């Protein structure tokens, strides 16, 4: 009875998550992707603003493994929301 509803909710959630990811190629010139090994493994890279840090406030105190590994998307929800508010572009 609830099978179709659960599947539709799952699909909606996946689409919502996919749409929140910001592609690195779409970031403004003073922004880049940042993440330590844990962020890379958990697919949770941040958007880093040059001279200020990660948009979500998470400290950037490690080697930037997201850049080293060539990640193409920033997946931190807080960073993506902050970037969208700054530039009015929700991806």
Residue 54's nearest CA partner among 74, 69, 37 is 74
What residue segments make up the domains of the chain, in order of their start?
A: 26-91
Q: What is the DSSP letter of 28?
A: -
Helix axes 77-87, 3-20, angle to 10 degrees: 60
pLDDT reported for residue 90: 47
Write out the chain's pLDDT in tens, 91 residues.
566 666 655 555 555 544 568 898 999 999 999 999 999 999 899 999 999 999 999 999 999 999 999 999 999 999 999 998 998 754 4
- 87 Cβ neighbours under 8 A, 6+ residues apart: 28
Structure tokens at 11: 């699909």
Q: What is the DSSP letter of 27?
A: S
Residue whose tokens read 């179709």: 4
């Amino acid at each position: 009875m609830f099978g179709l509803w659960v599947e539709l909710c799952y699909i909606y959630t996946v689409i919502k998550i996919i749409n929140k990811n910001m592609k690195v190629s779409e970031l403004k010139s003073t922004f880049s992707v940042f993440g330590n090994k844990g962020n890379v493994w958990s697919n949770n890279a941040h958007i880093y603003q040059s001279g200020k840090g990660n948009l979500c406030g998470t400290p950037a105190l490690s080697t930037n493994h997201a850049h080293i590994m060539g990640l193409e998307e920033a997946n931190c929800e807080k960073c993506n929301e902050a970037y969208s508010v700054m530039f009015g572009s929700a991806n």
